[in-house]
Structure 1
Amino acid sequence: MRRLVAVIAIVLALAGIGVAVWVLAMPGGRAAYNVVEYRVRRLLPAETAAVSGALAGRITADDRRPVPGAFALVATDRGVVFQGDAGAEGFYHIANVPAGTYVPLAAAWGYAPERAAGGSLVPVRAHGVTTGVHFHLSPETPYHPVLGEPTIGPVETVTGTFPGPVTATRVHIAVEHAGLMLTNAFLYEPPGSERLPALLLVFPTPAAGWEPISVALANEGFVVLAVGPAAERGLDIEAHVRDLIAEATLLFGGQLTSRADPTRVGALAGSFSSVLLFRALHDLPPLRAVVTMGGVSDGFLGYQALFREHLEIPPPYDTFVASLGRPDRHPEVYLRYSPAFFAEHLPPTLIIHTRTDRVVPVDQAYRFAQALERAGTPHELVIYADISHYLDPDHPTDETRRVYDVTVRFLKRTVN
């Protein structure tokens, strides 16, 4: 009987392995596997090591010289980060790491994140120091989009009622990029012919649905390029980032209008689109300012929230974070969407968030503000009391008007 039970257990285990291999081999299989693994682990109690150890090593560039601003980190399976900054000679030390196995990661602004030992697991032993965990960072290769000739639609006059009577001209922009015709961009300009500062508005859904905001900001004296993600890209975040860079290139290159001053450009993004904007900053010309509303500043913190918060994330974004995999095994994925780790390299930033956000918890805003404060980067933090994840200009409240006024004052002061 025992032998039969053992045989059945082995068969079931092999079947489970076979199913896992089959799922991983399918398109999108890795993401699906990650989501299932997360849902199983969410039912289990958190594993906490009672004792800790440390990691140490050196971070250098390909030429073996230290990299200014470099740091190394490890993350637990639930996204808690332990970090050590490299000194003048490149040496780092990460203390108080719970005993276990990790994939250490090193990074610096302008360099591609590097996993230690080719991505293999590195042990951290209780009361010990794991030494010799070294990294060699390579410069990140900028993305240079190859674009077709943009199609610029006819000029139309549009009006709005928020924050009062407003008017602007609108043209539709379409351009081919990476095998897809991007049709989700609109250019708005106020009346007149003078040269103006410009705003890049990066929306999390089709830009047409956010037109009241675009018209209002154009009416304030900005040339506005409003863009949204292409549905055909699905949750391919890097493809969305490249599309954003491509569309922004048209604005900076003067291919859309002669009125936009490419040396005076700010950007606004919210929620999911903040991930795209901050990821694209490496490859965009310098921005004068950034406004983020309900945005993500720390991908690791976002993964932590999956275990401690009851979130109300709408599809298809509800499984996005979990689909990225475990932070202790894939830390580079989460760092990619964590601008708080690079706060000293960011432009002046306005952070806006609602205290009761159930989509992106407000701790993302506090984390970002603290990082910018430590880095000495000019910033403002506005926590509003509205219960919604987004402020709705179609049904404005007193809070909507207050946040809008703060945003306009900030943009006029920094971008102008």
Structure 2
Amino acid sequence: MKTTTEEAQAFGTMLVAYGYIYPLQNHKKLVMCNDSSLYRFQTPYFWPTQKWVPDDSDYAIYLAKRNIRKKGVLEPYEQAHYSHLHEWLNHKWDFIVMQAAEQYKAGKERKKPDRVVFDCQERAYWMVNRPPRCAHSAMDCGPERLIDPNTDEKTTFDIYRRKNMFYQQAIMRSKVKSSVSLGALVKYITTYKNHDPLLASCLPSNPWQTDHDAYWTLNMRRVEVPTKMRVERWSFSLFELLSDLRGRDDFKIFLKKEFSGENLAFWEAAEELKWGTSSSMSTKAETIFKTFLAPGAPRWINIDGRTMGLTVKGLEHPHRYVLEAAQTHVFLLMKKDTFFRYLKSPTYKDIQKKALNPEPHNFSPANLEQNALNRSPGIHPIILWQQEEEEKAKAAAASAPVDVKAMMSKIDRKK
């Protein structure tokens, strides 16, 4: 059988990666090099076929032994592992140090060549099973499973009882006919097929194929004049409208004209609480309560008493999803009433008339080469984030609630 150099090198790299042989010079490089580097066969005791599961306690003993031998001078990654294990196994650290000292004394009684060989073998084993951080490990199998899926489960009375309960619940569960499910899928595909870049062409051109950024420029998050395809997508559902920041801004304009923007403002505040930082959660919850839920709040929302009671009680100990019920209630109110009035309003019709319908760009091979040469990096995400934060601050200042009592008191003072 003929074997090429590449195949032999790949096979040798696998042997090194799995710990059957180890390099003598550069022990961190678990790759078979096609040069004069020296390698040595690992002792069968450390082979993966022994199925010896590496334990944290064994690794801690090895690091403690190296720490004694090197007089506190370890590799940076070993020092990091040593500190972590010292904290993690602090309850039995005295036993680990005692074991390391005993092994160090036993090793000194060996002959020097045998001691050097064993140290290299042990170091190679832990290099494979506890590699440095950000290094590839062929032995990485993911998180350790507490239950082996291949083992047969013991049949007991409790197992049959749980299976019986599961089958009863499955029988009682309402099922949808396949014709209804297929009809819903056909309806969804018919609605979205023109907006799928795999089923329909991008207008004016696909930037990934032509290296032309006109598509991204026309579809920026808060572009002044959106495209017709984008405006059409807003009419699919309220979720699509609110997912697009430009559509949400247009929806806010409509709500402002109808003096009913408190529902959307509450929905946005609930989203910020859900996806915001944990440190600001209590402050945001208190602000939301004072603005939308407290009696006489400046932007009080109209929800049923049961939902209001549960929400106010949950705000005593706020968490990310404390406003979930109220947010869902407000979303359904906007979906059933406000959303359809928006689609029939002059605000939406005006944006439909102003929307752009870009013509397709047909680039020749020469144009494509020129576009590739003139390719430039886009706007950095941090800059986009800063711009969004500035726009949010301006929008919040512009849509701040008006305190009628304060306004009336100012008018009375002037009089």
Question: Higher strand share goes to which structure?
Answer: 1
TM range (shorter): under 0.3
State the TM-score, normalizing by the size of structure 1: 0.20
Question: Higher helix share goes to which structure?
Answer: 2
